[in-house]
Structure 1
Amino acid sequence: MQNYKELIVWAKSHQTTLNIYKISAVFPKEEQYGLTSQLRRSKASIPANIAEGCGRPSQKDFIHFLSISLGSANEAEYFLLLANDLGYVSQKTYEALKDEINQIKAMLISLITKIRSTINT
């Protein structure tokens, strides 16, 4: 298919994943196997599924993995909200990361729409 590293949405989601790892490193130890793990896994799933989709043989397969990425973005957004509500991240950090995740979601939706339009024509 294509090189996932050339996709802006992959690069942005990878960078946000790195940011999530940094901020979650200071979460309480008792959250290591709970919220910390869930937030990290849901966020890392976004660029991982984009990469996997790029290696699939068809555009429909690629769309499927982009859709999984979109679901993971929604999941990560929730876990970030939970971390904020529990006081593990500041409001400023929460807002910045939430904005990044929402940008990624918009980019994923746009890419899915674009690919679908090429399949249906």
Structure 2
Amino acid sequence: MRFAIKLCKLASSFPIKFSRIRDQLIGAAISIPLNIAEGSGRKSQKEKINFYKISRTSLFECIPILEICLSLKLIDGKEYEELRKEDLELSKMINGLIKSL
């Protein structure tokens, strides 16, 4: 959840002319914890895995968006590297959830 909040706060600071990038990043970020929560509430293993995979896909979607933000100088290199590292850590956690089922 912290990663999603961090990305939402970051995206909210973008100038209005980058509203499409802002909305895309916020949408992908919010999808991560929401799909984990929805998957956790499902009874069948297949449904759980499906929602966890959707969450992971949203997480992967954040990477190219952040790369675009870096190229457009909406974020700096240090910020990008920190977010990329968090993204990879979260990806490992989601993969662990999937493998545990």
TM-score, normalization by structure 2: 0.94
Work out which of the two has the higher radius of gyration on C-alpha atoms and give 1 or 2: 1
User: 2-side partners of 1:81 and 1:104: how far apart?
Assistant: 18
The percent identity for this pair of structures is 34
The structure 1 segments of at least 4 consecutive aligned residues displaced by more than 4 Å after TM superposition are: none
Number of the residue aligned with 2:86? 100
In structure 1, what is the equivalent of residue 10 of structure 2?
A: 23
Q: Using CA pairs below 8 Å that are at least 6 residues apart, which structure has the higher relative contact order?
A: 1
Deviation (angstroms), 1:110: 1.5
> How far apart are the structure 2 equivalents of 1:58 and 1:73?
23
Aligned-partner residue type, residue 99 of structure 1: K
Q: Show the 5 A alignment for 1:64-83.
A: 64-83=50-69
Shift of 1:76: 1.0
CA positional deviation for 1:52: 0.8
Instruction: Give the total of aligned pairs.
Output: 101
Structure 1, unaligned runs of 5 or more: 1-13, 116-121
Unaligned runs of 5+ in 2: none
TM-score by length of 1: 0.79
